Structures are given as structure tokens and as C-alpha cells.
């Protein structure tokens, strides 16, 4: 959607799915791949969901009720919330205040004939204007010869370079996803004509993944062989342990865990 609110603020975004519940109600769904869901209180004031609820009110005025929901694909959990008329009105006021602050910011820079300095971070990958940002392009287009030697690193240089490398890696990953999406749409529009130039042809490779129902296989495979084939899921085992009343058995099972450490990941946190 690319629409204007009643206060004159332009908003745009991408809604994953809209469902008609009944003649008065729609549900606006946003799919999430995160392992950590929001709490219900967090979802009630989530800015993205508030934006979608407002967009739904403008796009589908024939429905008097709008549910906004987060669907977590990894767990199957669905978190459904609503927005009251007062909550939507307050959100529209916040949008207007933010809009006016941005306009004032830009006006001040235009008066002084200066260009705002970019603040490059991981959220840049969600920005539609990143390819026009000189600071962002400078970060990801740095030549390999300009990378400092590991032997010459210090704390300050590590933080700067690690941040830049993370941004560049994420930017390339997102760009590759966009290219794949374009290719899929291109093939769908003209399936008989391959994507190619004078040197290369792009061929689509897809893989299949098979799954088995362990409850069925456990009945036909001998136990001594079956245990060699199965993998215990931590989440499923944790749920099972919560149902156990036998504390000795629960302790015994917990002690069977083998702890392994993955390669460390660093997250940079701004000091106050």
C-alpha cells in the first residue's frame, strides 16, 4: 500500500495477508520467522501492527472491525490484537508529529545547504533508499585491499570493521534475495524463455525435503535401530519434562544433555 492518512501523512508498506473473518471483520496478518515472539502487551502497541491497522481502515472502510496479528512460522503461534478508535487516533497523532519533525529537520539542513551525515547500521537493509545513500554505499563497496590487516587490529578498529562487515554481509544477502525474487517473477511471466546473456544462462535449482512420522516408524523399526535414526528436539523435550512429576527421572534426563558451543557471535551495544 502507498496511501495518505487523514492528517496528510504518506505511509507505505507491505501487508503479508488479509483475511475476511465475516462481513464486518478482517484480520491483517504479518508473518514472522523470529524464534522470540512479542508478548501480548508488546503486540498491542507495536508500531508495525498499528500502521497496518491504520492502513486497513483506509483501504477497507467497509469493515468496521480490524484484527492485526503476528503469525510465527517456526512455532505456529499466532498473536492476535486489536486497536480501539482512541488508540488509532493517538497513533495518527504520533505519525503526524514524526512527519512534521522530519520536515523540520530537512528544512533546517536545506537552509544551511548541508547534507545530513548518514548513520549506517543493520537497519539500513530495510531502507528503500539505501542505494542512494553515499555513506551506506561507502561501507559495503570498500575494496578488499582497504581492509586492515588482522594483526593491526585494536578495540576501536575491531568494532568499526566488525560493524561494517556485518552491514555489508546483510546488505549482500538481502540484495541476493531481491534478485531471486525478480528472477522468479521473470520466469513466471515468460516460462519458455530462459534468463541468459551472451555468456551465461540462469537455471533454477530446487531441492526437496522429506519428513517422516516417527510415531509410525517406531511401530515397524526395531527399537535398537530406531534410536539410531531419531534426533531429540530441545523444545519438545523441554515440554515433556514440564509434564513429568517424577523428579528423579526429570533430573536424570536433564543430566544426559551434551553441551556444545557454537562459534561466538558478537553484538555491538551502544554505550550510554
pLDDT tens readout for residues 115-173: 667 777 777 777 877 778 887 887 777 655 577 788 888 999 898 888 888 888 887 88
pLDDT at 23: 94
d(CA 120, CA 36): 25
Q: Is the pLDDT of residue 254 over 70?
A: yes
pLDDT at 144: 55
pLDDT at 150: 83
Write out pLDDT tens, residues 17-37. Answer: 999 999 999 999 999 988 788
Which range, of 117-121, 212-216, 245-249, 256-260, averages the lowest pLDDT?
117-121
d(CA 165, CA 160): 9
Mean pLDDT, rounded, of the chain:
87
Q: What's the burial of 202, exposed, middle or buried (CB within 10 Å: 0-12/13-18/19+)?
A: middle
Kindly report the pTM of this predicted structure: 0.56
Which range, of 56-65, 142-151, 179-188, averages the lowest pLDDT?
142-151
Strand partners, 29: 17, 69
Cβ-proximal residues to 258 (8 Å cutoff; 6+ apart), any chain: none
Q: Are the C-beta atoms of residues 139 and 164 closer than 8 Å to each other? A: yes
Question: 85-111 and 47-59 helices cross at what angle (nearest 10)?
Answer: 100
Region 41-70: mean pLDDT is 95
d(CA 93, CA 95): 5
Question: 234-243 and 247-255 helices cross at what angle (nearest 10)?
Answer: 160
Which range, of 83-87, 175-179, 238-242, averages the lowest pLDDT?
175-179
Percent of the chain scoring above 90 in pLDDT:
43
All cell numbers assigned to 209: 525435503
pLDDT at 142: 67
d(CA 55, CA 95): 13
Region 229-235: mean pLDDT is 88
**Three-class DSSP category at 127:** coil
Q: Are the C-beta atoms of residues 42 and 30 closer than 8 Å to each other? A: no
Amino acid at each position: 500500500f502507498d496511501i495518505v492518512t487523514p492528517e496528510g501523512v504518506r505511509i507505505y508498506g507491505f501487508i503479508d495477508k488479509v483475511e475476511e473473518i465475516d462481513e464486518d471483520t478482517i484480520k491483517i496478518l504479518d508473518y514472522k520467522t523470529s524464534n522470540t515472539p512479542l508478548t501480548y502487551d508488546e503486540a498491542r502497541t507495536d508500531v508495525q501492527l498499528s500502521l497496518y491497522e491504520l492502513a486497513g481502515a483506509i483501504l477497507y472502510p467497509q469493515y468496521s472491525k480490524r484484527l492485526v496479528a503476528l503469525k510465527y512460522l517456526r512455532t505456529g503461534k499466532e498473536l492476535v490484537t486489536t486497536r480501539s478508535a482512541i488508540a488509532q487516533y493517538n497513533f495518527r497523532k504520533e505519525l503526524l508529529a514524526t512527519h512534521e519533525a522530519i520536515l523540520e529537520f530537512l528544512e533546517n539542513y536545506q537552509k544551511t545547504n548541508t547534507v545530513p551525515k548518514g548513520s549506517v547500521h543493520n537497519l539500513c537493509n530495510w531502507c528503500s533508499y539505501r542505494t542512494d545513500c553515499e555513506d551506506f554505499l561507502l561501507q559495503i563497496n570498500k575494496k578488499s585491499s582497504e581492509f586492515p590487516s588482522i594483526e593491526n587490529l585494536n578495540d576501536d578498529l575491531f568494532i568499526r570493521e566488525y560493524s561494517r562487515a556485518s552491514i555489508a554481509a546483510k546488505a549482500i544477502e538481502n540484495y541476493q534475495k531481491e534478485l531471486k525474487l525478480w528472477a522468479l517473477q521473470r520466469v513466471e511471466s515468460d516460462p519458455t524463455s530462459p534468463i541468459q546473456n551472451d555468456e551465461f544462462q540462469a537455471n533454477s535449482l530446487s531441492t526437496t525435503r522429506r519428513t517422516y512420522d516417527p510415531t509410525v516408524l517406531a511401530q515397524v523399526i526395531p527399537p535398537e535401530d530406531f534410536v539410531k535414526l531419531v534426533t531429540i528436539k530441545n523444545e519438545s523435550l523441554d515440554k515433556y519434562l514440564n509434564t513429568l512429576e517424577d523428579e528423579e527421572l526429570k533430573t536424570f534426563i536433564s543430566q544426559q544433555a551434551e553441551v556444545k558451543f557454537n562459534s561466538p557471535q558478537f553484538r555491538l551495544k551502544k554505550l550510554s
